[in-house]
Amino acid sequence: PDRVPAYTDMVISHADDFMDQVKCHHITMQTLASTGNFQKAFDKFFEVMKQLGEELSPNVDPSIIFPAMYATKNDLNKYSTEDLMNVPKMTDKKKQWAMTFMDSIIPCVFVISPLFLPTIANRMMSLSLRYGLTKESAFGLYSYCYCLGCMLQDIDEGYHWIKVTRLMLERFNATELCPKLKLVQYSFLIYMKEPLQSVTNVLFHCREDIMMVGDVEYAILSAHFHCQFAVLSGASLSNAEKECDSLSKEMVRLKQTQSILENASIHHMVLQLIGSDKDPFAIPGITYKDEDEVLDHLESSGNVVFANSIYIHRVVTACFFRRYEYAADMIEKYHSEVGKGSLVLSAVMYAFFEGLVAFRMARSRPNDEKKWLVKGESAIQRYQTWTT
DSSP states of 271-320: HHHTT----TT--TT----SHHHHHHHHHHTT-HHHHHHHHHHHHHHHHH
Question: What pLDDT score does 77 carry?
Answer: 94
**Contact between residue 312 and residue 338 where contact means Cβ atoms under 8 Å apart:** no
Q: What does the pLDDT average to over 141-159? A: 89
Q: What is the mean pLDDT of the chain?
A: 88
- Residue 89 pairs with which residues in a beta bridge? 133
49 and 68 in contact (C-beta within 8 Å)? no
pTM of the model: 0.85
Convert the pLDDT of each residue in 44-90 to its tens digit: 999 999 999 999 988 888 888 899 999 999 999 999 999 999 999 99
108 vs 129 pLDDT, higher one? 129
Say which amino acid occupies 343: L
Cβ atoms 276, 304 nearer than 8 A: no
Crossing angle of helices 155-162 and 164-171, in 10° steps, is 20
pLDDT at 210 over 80: yes
Q: How far apart are the first and last CA of the chain?
A: 47
Nearest Cα neighbor of 89 from 79, 99, 76 is: 99
Quick: pLDDT tens for 270-316: 999 999 999 998 888 778 888 999 888 888 877 777 888 888 899 99
pLDDT of residue 206: 92
Q: How confident is the model at residue 12 (pLDDT cuts 50, 70, 90)?
A: confident
Q: Over 60: is that where the pLDDT of 340 sits? A: no
Q: Amino acid identity, residue 142?
A: Y
Beta bridge partners of 133: 89
